[in-house]
């Protein structure tokens, strides 16, 4: 079962609680009966092994992924020559 972190908006009391996925979120602070908010932490995920990178599925001779043909850049339209300044 996951552990959830809560913090009270009113008194600042922070705590962790183990809850089931089917349990509803807590709404009142156990210290002051104030409003609780659920805190979210970053999740540390580490992918180990083969198959997680694009280069893992390639053979040693070259790419197994077909690439689209390269688009040719459009040629810029000819711009009129600047007028010579009269001296």
pLDDT digits (tens, 9 = 90+) for 36-87: 999 987 767 777 776 666 666 666 665 555 555 555 556 566 556 666 655 5
pLDDT band at 29 (very low <50, low <70, confident <90, very high): very high
Give the sign of the dihedral formed by CA 57, CA 63, CA 68, CA 74. Answer: positive
Which carries the bigger pLDDT value, residue 33 or residue 71? 33
Supply the pTM of this predicted model.
0.46
DSSP 8-state class, residue 57: G
pLDDT digits (tens, 9 = 90+) for 8-19: 999 999 999 999
Question: Is the pLDDT score of 26 beyond 60?
Answer: yes
Instruction: Characterize 23-46 residue by residue with b for buried, 16 or more Cβ atoms within 10 angstroms of its Cβ, and e for exposed.
Output: eeeeeebeeeeeebeeeeeeeeee
Tell me how far CA of residue 48 lies from CA of 52, 58, 77, in angstroms: 8, 18, 52
């Amino acid at each position: 079962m996951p552990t959830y972190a809560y913090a009270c908006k009113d008194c600042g009391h922070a705590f962790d609680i183990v809850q089931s996925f089917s349990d509803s979120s807590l709404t009142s602070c156990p210290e002051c009966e104030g409003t609780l908010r659920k805190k979210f932490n970053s999740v540390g995920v580490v992918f180990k092994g083969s198959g997680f990178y694009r280069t893992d599925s390639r053979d040693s001779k070259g790419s197994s992924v077909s690439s689209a043909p390269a688009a040719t850049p459009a040629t810029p339209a000819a711009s009129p020559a600047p007028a010579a300044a009269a001296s």
